[in-house]
Amino acid sequence: MKSGDTMSIEKIVEQALQDGYLTPAMEAEVGRICDTASELSIEEYMALDRLMGALLTGEVVAVPRKQFINVMEELVLTEAISRVAEIEASTDATLDLGDIAAYALNRLPPLYATTEEGALYQRDKAREELAALIADQVKDAISRNMNQPEFYPERQTLKKGDDVLGQVSSLLKDYAHKFEPSEQGGVSS
């Protein structure tokens, strides 16, 4: 699934069954469709049911959101938490830790690792070579955050989701009552 494309639940499930994988982008699109739809069609419900079965049998594998870590995230977060705590303890300011970390991370090099050994290497390298740069970027981010008016008070923060199996299971439970067979063998509405 290419970014920017919108697909139906049926097409996403068809793609997942064909590939054998459900990517985080596909999972997010199914969630978005289910969140915005007033009700699901029988075809959508059946596609979700098929996906659930395929996930349970292993025919489709949910690709984890992360099979790697960006060590820079933890280093920036550690620095930001320390600085924000100092400021909030000595002033009446309330700072947005997420905004501060994201601002700083966008101005620092990523340090990805796929193993604990790699992460340890990246941490050590960053502490030796990038500690001052990390501190400066976090300081700039805090300064910017403190001086920024609240442009979009209605904006929503990103939410960390459950695992895909749990999400699909919840969706099926939420919508299953609408599709239970009736006495005549049809679908109730």
Task: Evaluate whether residue 186 is within a structural domain.
Answer: no
User: Does 50 lie in the same domain as 114?
Assistant: no
pLDDT-derived band at 140 (thresholds 50, 70, 90) equals: very high
- How far apart, in whole angstroms, are the C-alpha atoms of residue 168 and residue 10? 14
Per the listing, tokens 């997420």 go with 98
Q: How confident is the model at residue 31, as a pLDDT?
A: 86
- Find the domain containing 106 and state its range: 69-146
Between 16 and 38, residue with greater pLDDT: 16
- Report pLDDT digits (tens) over 83-121: 988 888 888 888 888 899 999 999 999 999 988 899 899
User: Does 112 lie in the same domain as 78?
Assistant: yes
- Report pLDDT digits (tens) over 17-73: 999 998 888 888 888 888 888 888 899 999 999 999 999 999 998 887 767 889 999
Q: Which residues lie across from 70 on neighbouring strands? A: 112
Q: Is the pTM of this model over 0.75?
A: no
User: Does 131 lie in the same domain as 116?
Assistant: yes
User: Does 138 lie in the same domain as 76?
Assistant: yes
User: Does 73 lie in the same domain as 52?
Assistant: no
User: Does 98 lie in the same domain as 59?
Assistant: no
- How far apart, in whole angstroms, are the C-alpha atoms of residue 189 and residue 182? 9
User: Does 104 lie in the same domain as 57?
Assistant: no
The alpha carbon torsion through 116, 122, 128, 132 (nearest 10 deg) reads -120
Task: Evaluate whether residue 3 is within a structural domain.
Answer: no
Phi, psi of 157 (to 5 degrees): -75, 155
Angle subtended by helix axes 9-19 and 24-36, to nearest 10:
160
Task: Evaluate whether residue 13 is within a structural domain.
Answer: yes
User: Does 60 lie in the same domain as 18?
Assistant: yes
Closest by Cα among 83, 75, 143, 150 to 105: 75
Q: In the chain, how many domains are there?
A: 2
Cβ atoms of 22 and 61 within 8 Å: the answer is yes
- Secondary structure of the chain in HEC code, one letter for each residue: CCCCCCCCHHHHHHHHHHHCEECHHHHHHHHHHHHHCCCCCHHHHHHHHHHHHHHHHCCCEECCCCCCEEHHHHHHHHHHHHHHHHHHHHCCCCCCHHHHHHHHHCCCCCCEECCHHHHHHHHHHHHHHCHHHHHHHHHHHHHHHHCCCCCCCCCCCCCCCCCHHHHHHHHHHHHHHHHCECCCCCECC
Task: Evaluate whether residue 189 is within a structural domain.
Answer: no
